[in-house]
A and B are shown apart, each in its own frame.
Chain A
Amino acid sequence: MGEVPEITPKALAAHLLGYLNLEVDILPPLKDPVYALNQKRLQYDAGVILKAMESEPFQDYAKIIGVLDLDIFVPILTHVFGEARQGGSYALVSVYRLKRNSDGSTPPLSLILERGAKVAMHELGHLFDLHHCVDRKCLMHFSGGLEDLDEAPLYFCRYCSVFLRDAL
């Protein structure tokens, strides 16, 4: 959605195929979701974007992940890396806050893409009705900040794997 480097959705799709063995298509980009811009916060409301996506159903696809390079938020939180409705069909992944480390330094592209892939797989987990997991070594464990996200693995714990397999 909007201006996102071509490599980003490609890398995310490759991770979903490689780790979850899911068939993934990359669709033509949508326009910038200017309708979701909150003038007060100068951020984009993730809930509003998801609602807009829901109103334009994408046929032939079980789940849709929107990839953007915009600062997204939900009303109670300062920001989110991604957003999805539990058991829903649409999710968002934003690389906006993944491109800069907490200390202000710029991470290598490979790390940015790995972070994006983790967020995408985590949100996809929610779309398949997986809840947050208490196991810190599980991708469904909640990552509040970039440090947590970097520590998170690219795989699910054995319980979440079973739940995901059942859902697939």
Chain B
Amino acid sequence: MEEKMSIMIVDDEEIVRESFLHWFEKTGHRVDAASSGFEALEKLEKFPFELLFVDIKMPGMNGIELLGKVKEEYPDTFVVIITAYGSIETAVEAMKLGATDYLLKPFKPEQLSLVMEKVAYQRKLVSEYEYVKGRLEEITRFDNIIGQSPPMQDIFELIPEVAQSDSSVLLMGETGTGKELIAKAIHAKSRRAHLPFIAINCGAIPDTLLESELFGHQKGAFTGATHPRKGFLEVVSGGTLFLDEIGEISPKMQIDLLRVLEEKKIIRIGDREPINVDFRLISATRRDLEKEAAEGGFREDFFYRINVIIIQIPPLSKRKEDIPLLVKHFLEKYSHETTKRVDHVTSEATQLLKDYDWPGNVRELENAIERAVVLSKSRTLGKEDFGFLRTIPSPISKPRSLREMEKHYIQEILENCDWNVTKASKILDINRVTLHKMIKRLNLKRP
């Protein structure tokens, strides 16, 4: 069965719009019309039309201008130019700007049919390309680490260098900054890429279980050990072991792991025979382990063993210039996953996202975009689609100095009292003269 398309006719002549509408009603495609370029752009903002038939000669915004705008804003939209006044120059210009085809009114029925076949074919190619691209992205998932900010660029440069060595790597960063993605990227670029990558969240597994998970056990080693089992340190054989939240492991486990890192040998629980192991360790933490090691809360020798190379991943609040790029990436991801075509964010909404502090980092941003895409009724996400972000009180997320807070608060009270110093001093419970002094000291001015 042919997939139905959403088509918009843009022509200032009602008779032409009607004629097209009647024609496409018979094809089963969803069809709508606009009488001007401006109306067409408004409609495009609300609904993802896939194909536009655009008349060249229209008052206000002509077809070529509209074509340029559409191709700039919605490059995937097919545009067929129609005109009653054919000239080679306009046809060439339209094709250069990305028009799919060019029809001279009135056209033969078979010409319209051919154009539709051409569009359907190109649409099929695009969708196949998107599918293959998606598959490739899945395979090379590490390329999902997005960022053009200087700290992220530094990390991108570091990854291939770090990947070449076998030294232990410690990734430090707040929760949700993408530590596991970077660990996977290092693994994928290393000589161990074709071998397993095993990720364990140490914070999520009780210590006793973690020991058995990592080292494995022999039959009868403890109650319930009815079969011998290989641990992850054995299973990973030759690959990369990623220990997330390494700061959460017990001092005893720190000693055990330290020995493994030094001797490259393990002994299964309940066994005596050492087994040779070969793996590359990448650890991650959101805690300041250096400080904890200095204070004795974390084993210093183990800390120095796991942090041969440290990669500090900046929180999202420190690389806000990456937000538009990340938003675009997540929009594409969730538009594809939810099959809802939401591919734009208004400039106000982008500003809101940039102003927000993202305590949950990239993960929180991803969740916010997913939620907005799922609930959106339009193809463009506006400020109102991110209303839920405002529930986080800003003073906590935006720490200020005491002086700044003081200045801000006094200014607010003064404005509420219309700069009546006597009134304001009563609210602030300070002497009027003191308030005058503070106004001078803090350089407060009536707007």
Knowing A75-B15, A76-B16, A76-B19 are in contact, say whether A132-B26 is a contact too (CB < 8 A): yes
How far is A81 from B374 in the complex, measured between Cα atoms in Å?
46
Q: Contacts A75-B15, A75-B19, A76-B19 given; indicate if A131 touches B28 (C-beta within 8 A).
A: yes
Q: Does A161 contact B (CB under 8 A)?
A: no
* A47-B107 contact given A86-B26, A131-B28, CB 8 Å threshold: no
Given contacts A131-B27, A131-B28, contact A145 B22 (CB under 8 A): no
Does B142 interact with chain A (Cβ within 8 Å)? no
Taking a contact as CB atoms under 8 Å apart, the answer to whether B27 and A145 are in contact is: no
Q: Is A1 an interface residue (CB 8 A)?
A: no
Count of chain A residues with Cβ under 8 Å from any Cβ of B? 21
Knowing A47-B19, A142-B113, the reply to whether A76 touches B28 (Cβ < 8 A) is no
User: A80 at the A/B interface (Cβ < 8 Å)?
Assistant: yes
CB <8 Å contact, B26 and A126: yes
Contact between A47 and B26 (Cβ–Cβ < 8 Å)? no
Asked whether B112 is an interface residue with its Cβ less than 8 Å from the other chain, the reply is: yes
Give min CB distance, B14 to chain A, whole Å. 10
Give residues of chain B (389-417) contacting chain A, Cβ–Cβ below 8 Å: none
Residue of A47, A76, A77, A79 ringed by the most chain B CB atoms within 10 A = A76
Closest chain B CB from A93 CB (angstroms): 15
A74 contacts chain B at the CB level, 8 A cutoff: yes
User: B157 on the interface (CB 8 Å rule)?
Assistant: no
Say yes or no for A148: interface residue by CB 8 A criterion. yes
Bound together, the chains give a CA A148 to CA B20 distance in angstroms of: 21
Contact A80-B109, Cβ < 8 Å, known A47-B19, A74-B19: yes
Find out whether the CB atom of B113 lies under 8 angstroms from the CB atom of A74.
Answer: no
Q: What CA separation (Å) do A78 and B18 show in the bound complex?
A: 16
Q: Which of B106, B109, B113 has the most CB of A within 10 A?
A: B109
Which B residues between 128 and 157 are near A, CB-CB below 8 angstroms?
A: none
A18 at the interface (CB under 8 A from B): no
Task: Produce 1/0 per residue, B96-113, CB < 8 A to A.
Answer: 000000000111111111
Smallest Cβ distance from A90 to chain B, in angstroms?
13
Q: Give the distance to chain B from A143, nearest Cβ to Cβ, in Å.
A: 8
Q: Is the interface of B mostly helix, strand, loop or mixed?
A: helix
**Cβ–Cβ contact A47 & B18, under 8 A:** yes
B20 to chain A, nearest CB (A): 6
Decide if A76 touches B20 in the complex (CB within 8 Å): yes
Chain B contacts with A in 83-123, Cβ cutoff 8 A:
105-114
B1 CB-CB contact with A under 8 Å: yes
Say if the beta carbon of B418 comes within 8 Å of chain A.
no
A62 within 8 A of B: no
B25 at the interface (CB under 8 A from A): yes
Q: Indicate whether B23 reaches chain A with its CB closer than 8 angstroms.
A: yes
Which chain A residue lies CB-closest to B29? A131
Please give, as numbers and ranges, the residues of chain A lying within 8 Å of B111 by CB-CB distance: 144
A74 to B23, CA, bound (A): 9
- Tell me whether B110 and A131 are in contact (CB under 8 A): no
Given contacts A77-B112, A78-B108, whether A134 and B25 have CB atoms under 8 Å apart is: no
Contact with B along A72-104 (1 / 0, CB 8 A): 011111111000111000000000000000000
In-complex Cβ contact of B22 among A74, A78, A131, A159 (8 A): A74
Partner among A77, A78, A79, A132 whose Cβ is within 8 Å of the Cβ of B27: A132
Contact (Cβ within 8 A) A86 B25: yes
State whether the Cβ of B2 lies closer than 8 Å to any Cβ in chain A: yes
Interface centre among B15, B26, B28, B106 (most CB of A within 10 A): B26
In the docked arrangement, what's the CA distance between A132 and B16, Å? 21
Q: Which of A126, A132, A144 contacts B110 (CB 8 A)?
A: A144
User: Which residues does chain B contribute within 8 Å of A84, judged by CB atoms?
Assistant: 26
Contact of A86 among B20, B22, B82 (CB under 8 A): B22
Q: Mark B191-228, 1 if CB is under 8 A from A, else 0.
A: 00000000000000000000000000000000000000
How far does the alpha carbon of A131 sit from the alpha carbon of B3 in the complex, in Å? 13
Q: Which one of B1, B23, B25, B114 contacts A76 once the chains associate, using CB atoms below 8 Å?
A: B23
In the bound assembly, the distance between CA atoms of A80 and B23 in angstroms comes to 11
Looking at the assembled complex, report how far the CB atom of B102 sits from the nearest CB atom of chain A, in whole angstroms: 14
CA of A73 to CA of B105, assembled, Å: 12
List chain A residues, Cβ under 8 A from B23: 74, 76-77
Given A74-B19, A85-B25, A132-B26, 7 more contacts at CB 8 Å? A75-B13, A75-B19, A76-B16, A76-B105, A77-B112, A78-B106, A144-B114
Q: List 12 A-B contacts (CB under 8 A).
A: A47-B22, A73-B106, A74-B23, A76-B19, A76-B105, A76-B112, A77-B112, A79-B109, A86-B22, A131-B27, A142-B27, A144-B109
> When A and B form their complex, which 5 residue pairs have the shortest distance between CB atoms, in order from nearest?
A144-B110, A131-B28, A134-B2, A86-B25, A75-B19
List residues of chain B with CB under 8 Å of any chain A CB: 1-2, 13, 15-16, 18-20, 22-23, 25-28, 82, 105-114
